[in-house]
A and B are shown apart, each in its own frame.
Chain A
């Protein structure tokens, strides 16, 4: 029998027992539904992670730190050995740690590494307060703006190099600082204040000192003009970073120096960004990474960061996939059962086909294809339901999770097609035992069956 005839005959047999076929296919559809959603969620999570990375990291840069444990999990079961040459003990990752910082000599050393075009310390300044005439004072953070970040702007524009004394204000500050709209904030002045840490320390030593004394002697207030208002990004690394204000490196660095002047943390940096010449070339990036690492620094590329994030997603994906697979395996037993019943019901038909000269291999294929078609239908139903429901709920869920323009579920046609084909092939294998039984039937006995 031609293969096309076997498929047609199998299809007709399935349609003869519609209810049985649909019920068995639905069992497979449950597993497929779960797997399709898992794939969609995994794609969505990876896409979101990529967006976060793209918005927060320059792929041609390397993140360099002096502390060996910064990019890896520290052994938390043992206490850290105190090192007098390291910085002060700080709360880090939920526990007290002493972190080894980069200094200007390190920055210069990294900058001299072959393949590195420039090095910029990562500086984020904790502001004493942010305010505007007639408004309350608010806590804020000022960070260095990098042109690759390309935030979505509600108003204004960002030049390649932000001039001194200018700032990008995040959307979250608008109403707090008394602006009615983003456009009304453009060109307006705000005041940012930083406090020297030695003054802060003395205040801690002498809690009875008046705040007025502290502010006047050890604080610096600067006026900044708002040049742009950025939309609250959906791709912030944390909720806090969505309230970051941005200015140029010189401004941020000078404020940072003011804060830490006279302390052991003066001109010390947790990490720095090393820009690699032609860093979009993976081999050049890897080469520079290896050279910096050889100098005794911890180095992480965007790819490493991406791996770290996707590793977590993959674990979750693996667990959900496992549940989906269990559901599919359970449903395959249903296929086996259905096919056994089919063989029993069609024993005389099998006998007739054998009498008419149908080879047992073709008979076996007839039942295997039937099983495969059930798998195919189940896969198609499950995937269609998952895509339909997922697509309908996607905007709602994505909005609830504040994913911005990213979507929680991203369905890829190629993945769905592969999933359905794989299911059909697995179902063909599930039909192997009943098909073997059919193929081995004695035609005479089969024809005698009542």
Chain B
């Protein structure tokens, strides 16, 4: 379970401060699908960054399975993130000159997974996103939809407990966008990971079991149950 308590994030100093998040409190059940919805600048990405330990809050705590992640040292947070979390970004962030295999291998290298296990894990991940025939293809040769699927393969290769997806369909056409969302929801079920999607698209949000509406850094409402 992810527990967020009294989370506040203020950027800047003295006269130029900006409150990105203000006293956020929420609980996310394991294996659930969650969407964080809000307009641009509402604070939804900041909330995701803090929940994943990429950014630090000004005050408040984030506990994952009872562990306060900001009470840990930086190295421990990194190790925690590499073993428990993963990300899919709007801009894919795949290494264009590397092969699909090398792209998916990255999280395993970071998590120091044993060399003998790696190959099968990468192949399984690529198979899960229907890219098993592109193992040795360079990422630069893939289409936009394929690149995002490759990014999803990279995100799931380590079998994370929490998968953060920041506007995962933002750079895709509607057909590829739908494919990616089906893939992500399918992986939520097959892998049993918590899926947290940051989006401004209500069509995507309606498929999640929990919707957190954010406005001006505050939770405007939390809806539960699929629409």
In the complex the two chains form, is B82's CB within 8 Å of A358's CB?
Answer: yes
**How many Å from the CB of B36 to the closest CB on chain A?**
16
Known contacts: A1-B110, A356-B86. The answer to whether A349 contacts B93 by CB under 8 A is yes
Cβ-defined contact, A357 with B111, below 8 A: yes
Q: Which residues of B contact A358 (CB under 8 A)?
A: 78, 82, 110
**Complex Cα–Cα for A359 and B112 (A):** 12
Q: Which of A5, A348, A362, A444 contacts B54 (CB 8 A)?
A: A444
A352 to chain B, nearest CB (A): 5
Segment with Cβ contacts to A, from B95-103, B119-127, B180-188, B213-221: B95-103
B31 within 8 A of A: no
- What distance in Å separates the Cβ of A343 from its nearest Cβ neighbour in chain B? 15
> Is A9's beta carbon under 8 Å from chain B?
yes
What total of chain B residues lie within 8 Å of the partner, measured CB to CB?
Answer: 28
Per-residue contact bits, chain B 25-50, to A (CB 8 Å; 1 contact, 0 not): 00000000000000000000000010
Q: Which residues of the partner chain A approach B13 to less than 8 Å between Cβ atoms?
A: none
* Structural contact, B109 and A16, CB atoms closer than 8 A: no
- How many residues on the A side are at the interface (Cβ–Cβ under 8 A)? 23
Q: Give the complex CA separation of A444 and B49 in angstroms.
A: 8
Contact status B93-A357, CB under 8 Å = no
Contact for A357 among B49, B79, B89, CB less than 8 A: B79
Tell me whether A319 is interfacial, beta carbon within 8 Å: no
Query: How far apart are the CA atoms of A396 and B225 in the complex, in Å?
Result: 89
A2 adjacent to chain B (CB < 8 Å) = yes
Residue of A5, A348, A357 near B81 (CB, 8 A) is A357
A residues in contact with B97, CB < 8 Å: 16
Which parts of A351-409 form the interface with B (CB within 8 Å)?
351-362
Q: Are B82 and A356 touching (Cβ within 8 A)? A: yes
**What is the CA–CA distance of A213 and B38 in the complex, to the nearest angstrom?**
127
CA distance A360 to B81 in the complex (A): 13
Which residues of chain A are near B89, meaning CB under 8 Å? 352, 447
Q: Which of B49, B74, B110, B112 sits near A356, CB closer than 8 Å?
A: B110
Across the interface, do B109 and A9 meet the contact criterion of CB distance under 8 Å? yes
The interface residues of chain B lying within 8 Å CB-to-CB of A12 are 98, 102
A44: interface (CB < 8 Å)? no
When distances are taken between beta carbons in the complex, the residues of chain A under 8 Å from B68 are none
CB distance from A444 to the nearest CB of B (A): 6
Chain B window 79-97, contacts with chain A (Cβ cutoff 8 Å), 1 for yes, 0 for no = 1111101110101010101
A356 adjacent to B81 (CB under 8 Å): yes
Inter-chain contacts of A357 with B (CB < 8 A): 78-83, 85, 107, 110-111
Contact of A359 among B49, B52, B78, B95 (CB under 8 A): B78
Q: When the two chains form their complex, are residues B106 and A353 in contact, meaning their CB atoms are under 8 A apart?
A: yes
B23 contacts partner chain A, Cβ-Cβ < 8 Å: no
A358 vs B82: C-alpha distance in the bound complex, in angstroms? 7
CB contacts (< 8 Å) of B95 on chain A: these are 349
Chain B positions within 8 Å of A, measured between CB atoms, are: 49, 52, 54-55, 74-75, 78-83, 85-87, 89, 91, 93, 95, 97-98, 102, 106-107, 109-112
7 contacts between A and B (CB under 8 A): A5-B109, A348-B91, A348-B93, A355-B52, A359-B74, A444-B54, A444-B55
**In the A-B complex, the 5 residue pairs with the closest CB atoms:** A357-B82, A357-B81, A5-B109, A352-B93, A357-B78
